[in-house]
Structure 1
Amino acid sequence: MKKAPSPLVSLIPIIVLVGLLFATIRTFGSDALSGGSQVALLTTTAVSIFIGMVFYKIGWKDYELAIINNIAGVSTALIILLIIGALSGAWMVSGVVPTLIYYGVQVIHPSFFLASTCIICALVSIMTGSSWTTIATIGIALLGIGKAQGFADGWIAGAIISGAYFGDKISPLSDTTVLAASVTDTPLFRHIRYMLITTVPSLIITLIIFTVAGFSHDAGSTEHIAEFAASLAAKFNITPWLLVVPVATGLLIAKRVPSIITLFISTGLAGICAVLFQPNLLQEISGMQGSESIASIYKGLTMTLYGGTSLQTGNEALTELVATRGMAGMMNTVWLIICAMCFGGAMTASGMLGSITSVFVRFMKKTVSVVASTVCSGIFLNLATADQYISIILTGNMFRNIYEEKGYESRLLSRTIEDSVTVTSVLVPWNTCGMTQATILSVPTLVYLPYCFFNIISPLMSITIAAIGYKIVRRR
């Protein structure tokens, strides 16, 4: 057995990463994801590898294998991210999202908007089993409605993400829910039922906060909302027929069609609707407005799917909202995820992750300290590995035997993993979830973070319930 780095030595790459990211954000601001953050992650990866190879004689092959495994583990997520880029562009230019916004601003009252947004996203996420799909579809539409009603981006994104991650956490279709249950050998529905003890109170508190905030919000005059809706109707062909796309997407989800296939079909349907209902917009995008040829429509549709579009609406806020980035707009995020996986692989292969997390084990004596240590470890792994799937697997593997030796049920570990890892991943700017949602919503992670009340309350609720001891069985 090779000697593992000490916890203090293992913290060196983390300190370097935090310092580099701080400098990058201060220097590049909102452009930090365009290269600066990637360089910071690769530099920190090099630091971790250098320490391991020079001082602990860890071979390059070990690092290479760990990095390859990490990247392979997120390959499906990368494909989904690219399809989401195409889907968001197709849903926007086809008029699907504008139609949802057009009807939504007239139906959802501003006082209940934030709470309604959270509930809607929660229901959709439960049906889809995917926070990513929820945020990329209905989330974008709700963002537009919220902007029209005068809400700040952070509040809207916080409500969207809170609801989406509630559904993702308890849906039997969710890959993170299945993963947390399987890695701890807990029956899936036993795991879900046990999670309700901490998840439901967290959601109730969240909804109370959003309801109070909604009633405190000055939505401004209804003339502003009417003007926003009129601008949409003037630019897009608004018709109830476009609602066929989200309805069909919902049916595919109900049939449990795999996410990639569902997103692909939904994108295709939106593309057909764009050709049928918005041919003039496709010609505008193609730059061939004087032409009625099929070529101009084909070019506009293709550009919508792979590249960015900017449609002038006469309303600055609306013009910004309906702008799309397509698959090309996701490339910085894809690049960042790959770099993050390199860092996570280097930290794992060097033994630094195991060394740091071993510190938490020393404090595991009573129930509350066991749960608190697991929560802290899960959050730390989200920060260090930059991926919730890796964090779930590592946390489960590290603590499974400890929980068993101390006489705790496996469902306590699986619930604590979800309370700490699944919901906090989106709060980390360099985590795959944080990067993805910031990209999809065009709202920086640190802007929406203070308003993701469900995600913040969940780990605290997990520790609180452990302190109370409710429904926690310990074999003597």
Structure 2
Amino acid sequence: DSIQNTFHVTPLLFIVPIVVIVMIVRKAKPLTALFVGTILAGVFAVIFQPEILMKVAGSDTMNFSSAYKGVMNAMTNSVYIPSGNEILDENKLFSAGGMEGMLSTIWLILCAMFFGGIMQEIGALQKISDTLLSVAKSTFGLFASTTATCIFFNGTASDQYLAIVVPGKMYQKAFQDKGLAPENLSRTLEDSGTVTSILFPWNTGGAYQSKTLGVATGEYVWFAFFNLISPIMTLIFAYFNIKIRKLVTKKSEV
């Protein structure tokens, strides 16, 4: 009852996420899908939640100015909507941080990008890759080096994307020289770069998860079984040569 008394609940509100999902399925550009979803959400808020917008805007009347201010405040600032229910209000269920709530994560992403760019430009990444490749003599060694590099970058570069892109560039030629198909490198990057980012509290992935869940990284890390086991399974598969595809070269026609 508290939700229905506070908001105008109708199945028509599902139109917004459905439109976004359809655009994603049809492989629309991410910025386009986000922009359309944001605009539609603002329009639907004006149509179905005018009272809420007036509260957010701090206005007693609904007009263009209050509607615009309410939508922009909801998108950019921290918003809290009291419902009159003691339990819901105590847990601040109807609250959102907007873009303001994500600024700490954005700063971390920017710092990680700057750090990674500097490391690449001064040649530090190339030096690291050359050292690791000199040790990776076997196929298993190559997989192990790639896995270790991804985890290393998640812990030092503090950004998931750098932990995927940089090792991918570093080991692309090495996988080709070993006669290994590109999907082996791609799978290793995902298994060790993508999933381990949330295990580091200073990484953008860990910071986002901790901020979203409201749980410290050190508390949930021991329950992230998939993230902990995934790199190990990659090494096991590489050691026993399971699902390791070879590079197929097309013979030139005579």
So what's the TM-score if we normalise by structure 2? Answer: 0.83
* Unmatched segments (≥5 aa) in structure 1: 1-229
Alignment of 1:364-383 (within 5 A): 364-383=136-155
The residue that corresponds to 1:410 in the other structure is 182
Superposed CA deviations along residues 97-128 of structure 1, whole A, max 9, x for unmatched, are xxxxxxxxxxxxxxxxxxxxxxxxxxxxxxxx
Aligned to 2:10: 239
The 1:411–1:438 alpha-carbon spacing in structure 2 relative to 1, beyond 3 Å, is: same
The 3-state SS of whatever aligns with 1:321 is coil
Q: Which residue of 1 aligns with 2:199?
A: 427
Q: Which has the larger radius of gyration?
A: 2
Indicate if the aligned counterparts of 1:340 and 1:430 stay in contact, CA closer than 8 A: no
Please give the secondary structure, in 2, of the residue aligned with 1:408: coil
CA offset digits 1:336-372 (Å, max 9, x no partner): 2222222223333343334444443344244333212
Q: Write the letter of the residue equivalent to 1:252.
A: M
TM-score, normalised on structure 1? 0.47
How far apart, in 1, do the equivalents of 2:72 and 2:174 lie? 54
**Aligned partner of residue 96 in structure 2, secondary structure:** coil
Native 8 Å contact 1:403 1:413 kept in 2:
yes
In the other structure, the counterpart of 2:77 is: 307
Q: Which residue of 2 aligns with 1:257?
A: 28
Distance 1:345 1:453, change over 3 A: same
Q: Is residue 107 of structure 2 the alignment partner of residue 331 of structure 1?
A: no
Query: In the TM superposition, what are the counterparts of 1:139-288 in structure 2 within 5 Å?
Result: 230-288=1-59
Cα distance change of structure 1 residues 355 and 301 upon mapping to structure 2, 3 Å threshold: same
What CA distance in whole angstroms lies between the structure 1 residues aligned with 2:156 and 2:129? 11
Change in CA separation of 1:315 and 1:256 when aligned onto 2, cut-off 3 Å: farther
Cα distance in 1 for residues equivalent to 2:246 and 2:67: 65
Match of residue 250 from structure 2: none
Larger relative contact order (C-alpha < 8 A, sep ≥ 6)?
1
1:294 to 1:417, Cα distance in 2 relative to 1, 3 A: closer
Taking a change above 3 Å as real, the CA distance of residues 352 and 442 of structure 1, as seen in their structure-2 partners, is same
When residues 377 and 321 of structure 1 are mapped into structure 2, their CA distance, relative to the original with a 3 A threshold, is same
Bigger Cα displacement from structure 2, 334-343 vs 404-413: 404-413
Aligned to 1:4: none
Shift of 1:293: 4.0
RMSD, matched Cα = 2.6
Partner Cα distance (1:356, 1:268) in 2? 46
Question: Structure 2: which 5+ residue stretches go unaligned?
Answer: 248-254
Percent identity for Structure 1 against Structure 2 = 38
Measured after TM superposition, the shift of residue 406 of structure 1 is: 3.3
What is the number of equivalent residue pairs in this alignment? 245
Deviation at 1:262, TM superposition (A): 0.6
* Matched residue, 2:169: 397
